[in-house]
Amino acid sequence: MAQAEAADRRAADTLLRLAGFPQKKSLEEFDFSFQPGVSRKQVKELAGCAFVERAENLILLGPPGVCKTHLAIAIGMEATRRRLQTKFTTAARMMTSLAEARTGGSFSRRLTSYVRPRLLIIDEVGFLPLDSDQASLLFEVVSRRYERGSIILTSNKSYGQWAEVFSGDQIIATAILDRLLHHGTTIAIKGESYRLKDKKRAGVMQDPKTEEESQEGGSVSNRH
């Protein structure tokens, strides 16, 4: 029994190392009080990774700084603990990797590295626009994984803005969304940037509304 448990731990540690997470994050560290719109119950259920077993997807939408990546990594780390092969990448890094492999004649092998894992995490879709070739590469990955493997995808763009992400190509945007959402869950996170909250509390930064009111007050006094 002890030997089996030790083997399981070693396997999980290996999967964690190979996943390529930029940092370690846990659900215990996630501040649900700062993002009350995120359901603790739903996130806990997702962390059980049953959706990965069913080859379903998870899409995390919201503006920068609302901890989309934190949730994606934390759930991904839970997957490795369950010995589910996981790979983390950003959209930009994946596009560069696939484009270089295509030029170098190793495209099939590189594509397989994104298709094979049980869970693929694609971070920051929409942070930078994708040209038509890059959009086609993303479609290739999503299409190959459709009903075969799970994707966690984070984006700062609402679904209505996805055509902008793909250089105005509504057709490919719809095709990608169709495959992601057919067996997928969307969590839209609203609110302020978690990274900037302490600066706002310290008065280093102002909320846009507060700043606007301050400027309006100044303009009134100037008129007098």
Query: 3-state SS string over the chain?
Result: CHHHHHHHHHHHHHHHHHHCCCCCCCHHHCCCCCCCCCCHHHHHHHHCCHHHHCCCEEEEECCCCCCHHHHHHHHHHHHHHCCCCEEEEEHHHHHHHHHHHHHHCCHHHHHHHHHCCCEEEEEEECCECCCHHHHHHHHHHHHHHCCCCEEEEEECCCHHHHHHHCCCCHHHHHHHHHHHHHCEEEEECCCCCCCCHHHHHCCCCCCHHHHHHHHHHHHHHHHC
Model confidence pLDDT, tens digit, residues 8-42: 788 889 999 999 999 999 999 999 988 888 999 99
Model confidence pLDDT, tens digit, residues 47-63: 999 999 999 999 999 99
Amino acid occupying residue 80: T
Provide the pLDDT confidence category of residue 206 given band limits of 50, 70 and 90. Answer: low
Give the chain's domains with CATH numbers. Answer: 2-191 (3.40.50.300)
Q: Which residue has the tokens 């900037």?
A: 196
Residues 6+ apart with CB under 8 A from 9: none
At 5 the pLDDT is 76
Model confidence pLDDT, tens digit, residues 140-190: 999 999 999 999 999 999 999 999 999 899 999 999 999 999 999 999 998
At 11 the pLDDT is 87
At 208 the pLDDT is 47
Structure tokens at 206: 């102002």
Model confidence pLDDT, tens digit, residues 105-140: 999 999 999 999 999 999 999 999 999 999 999 999
Q: Does 88 have pLDDT greater than 60? A: yes
Q: Give me the chain's average pLDDT, please.
A: 88
